[in-house]
Amino acid sequence: MAGYGLNNEHHLSVVLQEKLISEGYRIEVVNGSVSGSTSSGGLNRVKWTLEEPNINLLILGLGANDMLRGIDPKETKNNLDNIIQIAQAKNIKIILAGMLA
């Protein structure tokens, strides 16, 4: 989640990493989000983004901007399904983060 308008220390990736490290996990959280991105933008980026080594988990939080732009929910679902399939093919676990419209 890009965190549009937030100071860096309040971005989800930073907060999540700090919390997990404080609980004893050796982890790096990488923010792969792009502010204003839609699910189709995420689908366009996912293959090369997931080429990075040692990715164990993908938190997928796309779709809010699709809703704001009036994109057909079927298209959003299709894009998310494709992203999930790409991650699964690489044995990357996925958390699908939702939102309420």
Please write the tens of the pLDDT for every residue from 24-74. 999 999 888 888 889 999 999 998 999 988 999 999 999 989 999 999 999
Quote the pTM value. 0.85
Indicate if the pLDDT at residue 5 is higher than 80.
Answer: no
Q: Which residues pair with 94 in a beta bridge?
A: 58
- SS3 assignment, position 59: strand
For residues 1-12, average pLDDT: 76
Selected residue with higher pLDDT from 41 and 3: 41
In a 13 Å sphere around the CA of 40, the CA atoms on its Cβ side amount to 8
- SS3 assignment, position 42: helix
